[in-house]
């Protein structure tokens, strides 16, 4: 079994509220994150505006809190430890921090603090003139070639997310990204969708954020994982060196397609997405259709997953 955790874009107002209302162990997770940040993030998640929540500094720890609430409830209320039942864990971009937290590598409070800093650092690194666009319907290698051809000494576009054979995200200077998006459409892409983000993530324009994250991670205690985590930057199972890999993740592409193919080639037959939304489930189905996919994103789906696990 592969257990995966979503990244930025899956957040929505009210996520995790049903779990919060139903289980005390879920309340503990949200309150622990609030305390770690000295900020009422849970109130923002439940009662704030979409604009506030999508701000990178809020969205990243918010998604951690929502996903970890499911992990905590599974363990405390149903006796199911996510890391123990998985062959591997993985997360998309910031979701890799959730995977490490669920795997016992970093504490919840440390992960929340790191992601708050990460979100702020990424937003500061290139606040004006950057963009990201998802290209739908072209192979990643073609999108990579187009991005390279549309780059110059002054402006660059890079592949930021290799999400599936049909979806590749490019990142960089706004002019170069727009040029690459237009070229992709001319080449036959079905769509090119500009993303609502606060910077050109996962490319070398994030270098200052990488430097800042290296400092933060250096002082954070990391433990050995219960199970290997498939790294975004290597697309392979890793059992250590996570600090270096997480720093690299800031400026390097998210190799999600390759990560899922690695899991499938390692005899994984089931992929469980834990946390808000169904984005990763959709990608997994496109990458490796034979994998069985399960979503745990509500009280009902959590209870059904727990029933099947405990029955089996």
Q: Which residues are marked as active site?
A: 93, 202
Structure tokens at 111: 């992960």
What residues have CB less than 8 Å from 284, skipping those under 6 apart?
A: 4, 260, 271, 273, 291, 293
Burial of 208 (0-12, 13-18, 19+ CB in 10 A): middle
Among 38, 40, 48, which residue's Cα sits nearest to residue 11? 48
Burial of 28 (0-12, 13-18, 19+ CB in 10 A): middle
Mapped onto helix, strand or coil, the DSSP state of residue 94 is coil
Structure tokens at 95: 């979701």
Question: For the chain, how big is the Rg over CA atoms in Å?
Answer: 19
Q: What is the dihedral of CA 11, 239, 223, 279, to 10 degrees?
A: 10
């Amino acid at each position: 079994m592969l257990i995966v955790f979503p990244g930025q874009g899956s957040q929505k107002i009210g996520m995790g509220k049903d779990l919060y209302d139903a289980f005390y162990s879920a309340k503990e997770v949200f309150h622990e994150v609030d305390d770690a940040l000295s900020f009422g993030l849970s109130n923002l998640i439940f009662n704030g505006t979409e604009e506030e929540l999508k701000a990178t500094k809020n969205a990243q720890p918010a998604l951690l809190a929502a996903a970890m609430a499911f992990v905590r409830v599974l363990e405390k209320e149903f006796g199911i430890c996510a890391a123990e039942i998985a062959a591997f864990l993985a997360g998309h971009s910031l979701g890799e921090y959730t995977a490490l937290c669920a795997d016992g590598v970093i504490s919840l409070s440390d992960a929340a603090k790191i992601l708050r800093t990460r979100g702020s650092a990424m937003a500061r690194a290139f606040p004006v003139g950057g963009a990201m666009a998802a290209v739908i319907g072209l192979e990643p290698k073609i999108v990579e070639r187009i991005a390279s051809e549309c780059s110059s000494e002054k402006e660059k576009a890079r592949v930021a997310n290799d999400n599936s054979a049909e979806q590749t995200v490019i990142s960089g200077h706004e002019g170069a990204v727009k040029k690459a998006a237009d070229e992709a459409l001319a080449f036959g892409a079905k769509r090119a969708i500009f993303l609502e983000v606060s910077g050109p993530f996962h490319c070398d324009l994030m270098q200052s954020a990488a430097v800042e994250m290296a400092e933060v991670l250096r002082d954070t205690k990391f433990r050995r994982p219960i199970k290997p985590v498939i790294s975004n930057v290597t697309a392979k199972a890793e059992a250590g060196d996570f600090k270096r890999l997480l720093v690299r993740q800031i400026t390097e592409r998210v190799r999600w397609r390759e990560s899922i193919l690695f899991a499938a080639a390692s005899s994984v037959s089931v992929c469980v997405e834990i946390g808000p939304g169904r984005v990763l489930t959709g990608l997994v189905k496109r990458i490796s259709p034979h994998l069985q996919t399960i979503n745990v994103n509500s009280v009902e789906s959590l209870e059904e997953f727990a029933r099947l696990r405990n029955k089996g």
